Structure 1
């Protein structure tokens, strides 16, 4: 009697373990993060807005001449961003006026302004978001 109960208990335990392992494999296989597909260059261009060249003064009494291309995540976001061009220009001027020429030197400086512009513009957006900000030209005098 004891061996029969022990056998039933072992079979039940093995079955529950097997079901658990199968469920775990299925969950990990099908609910894992989808691979993020990088947009093609055509999509990048289609969803991007050119910000015309802006000239403003820096905190260090230098002048900067800079232009951007802002990549959004959809056509709706692009349309909204085009309507908000005056707000984007305002953000660019405000952010640059708080920086010194030395802070904009090198890759770190360019990454800094790209990140600041992206984050500030994203705080305005309602129909999507800014994926990336590219500096297309920049000159400090």
Structure 2
């Protein structure tokens, strides 16, 4: 009698553990598929900051006129970045002053600039980070 009862309890315990494991796996998979979903354009705009056109000298005697849109990972980060606009402009000017027109030539040059700005601006952020840097206008003379 005791063995039969013990066996039944053991089977019930295993069924409950198996059901729990399946539930955890399903929840984990659902959570990852929703996390990988790209934000809508409205969400991107709500979490972005425009950097108006900046005119500055490059490392050479050339100058550049350039503007950006910075996409952050949250509304809170966007609000912080808006307040830090003077620091953002300083980072951009510092970065550009170390570059020549050849450094900015082609897609690779612009990608290098975007990545450098993304990393440097994210370092000053306390509430989030910059996830994308878009060049919205660009002229070198």
TM-score by length of 2: 0.79
Name the residue aligned to 1:31.
Answer: 28
Distance 1:46 1:57 in 2: 32
Q: Deviations over 1:76-131 (max 9, x none)?
A: 11110000000000000000111110110111111111111110010000011111
In structure 1, list runs of 5 or more residues that go unmatched.
Answer: 1-15
TM-score normalised according to structure 1 size: 0.79
Tell me what 2:11 maps to.
none
Counterpart Cα distance in 1 of 2:19 and 2:27: 12
Corresponding residue of 2:117: 117
Alignment-derived partner of residue 7 in structure 1: none
After TM superposition, the structure 1 = structure 2 runs for residues 25-64 of structure 1, keeping only pairs within 5 Å, are 29-32=26-29, 34-35=32-33, 36-64=36-64
Q: Paired residue for 2:5?
A: none
Q: Distance in 2 between the 1:75 and 1:31 partners?
A: 26
Rounded Cα–Cα distance in structure 2 between residues aligned with 1:28 and 1:106: 45
Aligned to 1:79: 79
CA RMSD of aligned residues (A): 2.2
Number of residue equivalences: 126
Structure-to-structure mapping, 1:85-100, within 5 angstroms: 85-100=85-100
CA deviations on 1:47-72 (whole Å, 9 max, x unpaired) are: 11000100111112211110000011
Structure 2 spans left out of the alignment, 5+ residues: 1-13
Q: Say which one has the larger Rg.
A: 1
